[in-house]
Amino acid sequence: MYKVVIGLEVHCEVKTNSKNFSSALNSYSEYPNENVDTVDLGLPGILPVANKEAFRKSLMMALALNCKTPDVVMFDRKNYYYPDLPKGYQITQETKPVGVNGYVMINVNGTDKKVYINNIHLEEDTASLDHFGTYSLIDYNRAGVPLLETVTEPCLYSVDEALTFLEALKGIFLYTGVSEARTDRGQMRCDVNVSLMEEGAKELGTKVEMKNINSFNNVRLAIEYEIKRQTEILESGGKITQETRRFDDEDLKTYPMRSKVDAVDYKYYIEPNIPPIKITDDFIEEIKSEIPMLQFERVEKYIGEYNLSRYDSDILVKDKKVSDYFEETIKLGANPKSSSNFITSIILGYLNKYEIGIDDFYLTPKMLVDLINMVDKGKISSKQSKEVFFKCVEDKKEPEEVVKILGLTQITDDKTIRDIVVRLLDERPDLIIDHRKGKNTFDYFVGQVMKETRGKANPTLTRDIINEEMDKR
């Protein structure tokens, strides 16, 4: 049996108004070559200008990944030629990345794990190529879009760990607002490095790199295929070649692209046209203060402080807005368990069904709290609360009002119920005798009270009063 070792290099586009080094728009466009500036085209004489929002958000991500940040933001040139790179070099960070030596906490099937981050650096995206039969077209919309590359240590030991890490990383991008991280728009892409080592071996095995995989499911399939392929080679006494392979998403196999023996020499040097930008402690503190509590910590809090299950906590933190909504209900005095139940079992289903975002949702946290509290105080039953919920959101009315309209308020007044009970017992002395003889006539009286009050009498109180009144006779 071999142990699998995985290291990931994740590229994610940073959400900014303009590109990393030019004033062209950084926005999704259906039309090719719409958001393009001379800098993005690499025309002679261009001067790149660093985008403050891009390096600010990059530093925020670095801090969220518990990285050490540098004293200056500076860039390097990575020289290579490819048609999607008109300048003949990419501006990236080699000397001083925005973050080094960080970590991300993840929970894989119930067990916590620290995933080590080697570095996170800011660079620019390339143009994109569309290949047709005998020709290719270049779209420069993507050229120069700020791109953050997160590089993990080779410390992921299973497909599940790799996928959980990717989900966690995506969550951090979304929670901090650094990126929209939409894989369907190619905003988040991944290079996957996989090697095998014998159980107990001291040195890592030879790795294979798979470039530019653009969906999490393909990452899973590519790793699974590589484990199988490499295992077969090793078991038949062969050796793994260090190489870059391509994952084909049609036959779900990987194919060699280039071997790493003649590794490219990028001849890095410091980008001379962008002076280093000093990063003050105040700037770092300001950025830190804007990082919200992240998913992992929220789940720990929900389990530890609110006694929720991991399953429910995971559902609540999936979308930050839902998690914020939930926390707001608690601030407003809701019982965490009741609020969590209501959100996970009713509200999310409703929002999903009608494709409504929680911020466009009629029911505010305050209204949910009112609704939950009516149940917790026994004013209405939990079954009735669902009916009230649907009427609230459909008629756009507040819970208290709907309860009145539907006439649902429970009768919790002792005297009202007692009067009914006394009258019922007076009417049927025979059933009291039956009751003494051991026959169950108790439920008959409960049923009668419910019938007379159209189900509104508080059940617990009704039972208590019937017991008391029967004992008196």
Q: Out of 18, 195, 218, 313, point to the residue binding ligand ADP (CB under 6 A).
A: 195
Which is closer to ligand ADP, CB of 10 or CB of 308?
10
By CB under 6 A, which span of 34-42, 145-153, 174-182, 293-301 interacts with ligand ADP?
145-153
Angle between helices 442-452 and 414-427 (to 10 degrees): 120
Strand-pair category, 111-124 with 128-131: unpaired
Q: Does 207 bind ligand ADP (CB under 6 A)?
A: yes
Please state the closest distance from residue 192 (CB atom) to ligand ADP, in A. 9
Instruction: Work out whether the CA dihedral 260, 264, 269, 274 comes out positive or negative.
Output: negative
Q: What token pair was written down for 303? A: 């389990």
- Which helix (H) or strand (E) segment holds residue 436: the answer is helix 429-436
- Which helix (H) or strand (E) segment holds residue 414: the answer is helix 414-427
Q: Out of 53, 153, 387, 400, point to the residue binding ligand ADP (CB under 6 A).
A: 153
Which is closer to ligand ADP, CB of 204 or CB of 257?
204
Tell me which amino acid residue 189 is.
Answer: R
Residues near ligand ADP (CB under 6 A), total: 15
Please state the closest distance from residue 100 (CB atom) to ligand ADP, in A. 13
Please, what is the Cα angle at 42 between 40 and 47, to 5 degrees? 85
* CA gap 195, 201 in Å, rounded: 13
Question: Residue 405 gets which letter from DSSP?
Answer: H
- Which helix (H) or strand (E) segment holds residue 162: the answer is helix 159-176
Q: Does 74 bind ligand ADP (CB under 6 A)?
A: no
Q: Out of 7, 97, 102, 144, point to the residue binding ligand ADP (CB under 6 A).
A: 7
Q: Does 20 bind ligand ADP (CB under 6 A)?
A: no
- Which helix (H) or strand (E) segment holds residue 146: the answer is strand 146-152
By CB under 6 A, which span of 7-15, 333-341, 349-357, 419-427 interacts with ligand ADP?
7-15
User: How far is CA 61 from its chain centroid?
Assistant: 15
- Which helix (H) or strand (E) segment holds residue 270: the answer is strand 269-270
Q: Out of 201, 204, 405, 433, point to the residue binding ligand ADP (CB under 6 A).
A: 204
Residue nearest to ligand ADP (CB): 7
Rounded to 5 degrees, φ, ψ at 44 are -60, 140
Q: Does 8 bind ligand ADP (CB under 6 A)?
A: yes
By CB under 6 A, which span of 6-14, 132-140, 286-294, 329-337 interacts with ligand ADP?
6-14
Owner of token pair 């994610």: 12
Owner of token pair 């590359």: 149
Which is closer to ligand ADP, CB of 264 or CB of 405?
264
* CA gap 328, 81 in Å, rounded: 52
Q: Out of 49, 151, 274, 346, point to the residue binding ligand ADP (CB under 6 A).
A: 151
Query: CA 23 → CA 18, 37, 103, 179, 254, distances in Å?
Result: 5, 7, 33, 19, 39
Question: Residue 68 gets which letter from DSSP?
Answer: B
Which is closer to ligand ADP, CB of 204 or CB of 277?
204
Query: CA 402 → CA 362, 368, 430, distances in Å?
Result: 14, 13, 42
By CB under 6 A, which span of 45-53, 99-107, 148-156, 282-290 interacts with ligand ADP?
148-156
Q: Does 5 bind ligand ADP (CB under 6 A)?
A: yes
Which is closer to ligand ADP, CB of 85 or CB of 151?
151
Which is closer to ligand ADP, CB of 5 or CB of 60?
5
Which is closer to ligand ADP, CB of 121 or CB of 298?
121
Please state the closest distance from residue 93 (CB atom) to ligand ADP, in A. 14
Please state the closest distance from residue 205 (CB atom) to ligand ADP, in A. 6
Q: Does 152 bind ligand ADP (CB under 6 A)?
A: yes
Q: Does 240 bind ligand ADP (CB under 6 A)?
A: no
By CB under 6 A, which span of 151-159, 320-328, 346-354, 381-389 interacts with ligand ADP?
151-159
* CA gap 385, 381 in Å, rounded: 6
Rounded to 5 degrees, φ, ψ at 469 are -65, -35
Please state the closest distance from residue 242 (CB atom) to ligand ADP, in A. 8
Please state the closest distance from residue 333 (CB atom) to ligand ADP, in A. 47
Q: Does 93 bind ligand ADP (CB under 6 A)?
A: no
Which is closer to ligand ADP, CB of 152 or CB of 410?
152
Please state the closest distance from residue 204 (CB atom) to ligand ADP, in A. 4
* CA gap 455, 371 in Å, rounded: 19
Which is closer to ligand ADP, CB of 7 or CB of 365?
7
Query: CA 44 → CA 25, 81, 116, 273, 326, distances in Å?
Result: 21, 16, 41, 13, 54
Strand-pair category, 243-248 with 208-213: parallel
Positions touching ligand ADP (CB under 6 A) are 5-9, 151-154, 193-195, 204-205, 207
